[in-house]
Homo-oligomer: A and B are copies of this chain.
Amino acid sequence: MIDDIRAAAKRIAGHVVRTPLLESDALNAAAGRRVLVKAECLQKTGSFKARGGWSAVSNLTDDQLAKGVIAFSSGNHAQGVARAARAHECPAVILMPRDAPQAKIDGTRALGAEVILFDRANDDRDALGAKLASDRGLTLIKPFDNLDVIAGQGTVGLEIAAQAAELGVTEGQVLVCCGGGGLTSGVALALEADAPAMRVHPVEPAGFDDVTRSLAHGTHQRNAALAGSICDAIVTPTPGDLTFPHLKRLCGPGIVVTDAEAQQAMAAAFTHLSLVTEPGGAVALAAALFHPNDLTHDTIIVTISGGNVDASLFAETITAYV
């Protein structure tokens, strides 16, 4: 897998941002330890998904590119795939849940994709997607159960290893915002090669802690609900088939934070880092700030995985929590 990640890094170079690893004295003081923040909210399209999207689309055949791609996503994977598809002159169809943040729906449409909305609780997204794909000959790019996507997200891990080493940091805990596990497993695979003394912990919202429970049980666990957290970006039913073996071998235990903790972390990122974060993108920072019992190291690396949040929710959050 590490060869796939390094190959993905070459394909995406110059097309995505090498995001900074940020640090704030005040944030360190609030956390009671050193917190290094990999700011993927500064990535193209506002989340790390621009990496996986570009990695996957850039590895398609000419025939696949001509026919087009399809993806389903609450928004960040949608934008990552749409942006890569447009740059490759490849048609893109995106299935998005009707309750996705308007900012993500707008952003995906602005990138030239055909957006089809579905009902998260009642529609069968997979069946809908399969029919569209077969009718039009589209290539499905899954949000995490896709080797090229995992490899693309893994480039975050290559950068973390290099940027932390520049600061003299070669060990510690790496907290990763986790939905289906594409970013988490990609980062863990990259760190296994380039920073083997770092340990990855997935972080999830309460009620949607399928990865944390699956790691504890050793087998796939499912969430009881399919919606109901403000952390829309990382609400997924169960770990991916491709990602879970990597998660089991390399990651854990998971950390579970509340929606309110995610919002407090958004407020902290606003105040101390001048970063706009979305709830699901702030859960790892929330773990670093509010779950000291899960932390064993003086230095913690956290991913902020995205910043695509509606203005109304962001305004409410900083008004309530700053």
Measuring CB to CB, which residues of chain A are less than 8 angstroms from any residue of chain B?
17, 19-20, 22, 24-26, 29, 39, 41-42, 44, 46, 83, 103, 107, 110-111, 267, 270-271, 273-277, 307-308, 311-312, 314-316, 318-319, 322
Identical chains in the assembly: 2
A22 vs B46: C-alpha distance when bound (angstroms): 11
- Point out the residues of chain B lying under 8 angstroms from A318, CB to CB: 311, 314-315
CB–CB B20/A42 < 8 A = yes
* Complex-state Cα separation, A44 to B275, whole angstroms: 13
Secondary structure at the A interface, as helix, strand, loop or mixed, is helix
Shortest A125–chain B CB gap in Å is 26
Contact B41 A274 (CB under 8 A): yes
CB neighbours (8 Å) of A319 from chain B are: 311-312, 315
Chain B residues contacting A103 (CB-CB under 8 Å) are 271
Contact B322 A311, beta carbon cutoff 8 Å:
yes
Contact of A274 among B20, B24, B276 (CB under 8 A): B276
Evaluate contact between A44 and B17: CB separation under 8 angstroms: no
Docked Cα-Cα span, A10 to B48, in Å, equals 32
Given contacts A20-B17, A20-B19, A318-B311, A107 and B26 within 8 Å (CB-CB): yes
A26, A39, A267, A312 pick with most chain B CB within 10 angstroms? A26
* Contacting residue for A25 out of B19, B24, B41, B44, CB 8 A: B44
Residues of chain B within 8 A of A267, CB atoms compared: 311
A273 / chain B contacts, CB cutoff of 8 Å: 42
Q: CB < 8 Å: which of B25, B111, B275 contacts A276?
A: B275
Interface centre among A44, A307, A311 (most CB of B within 10 A): A311
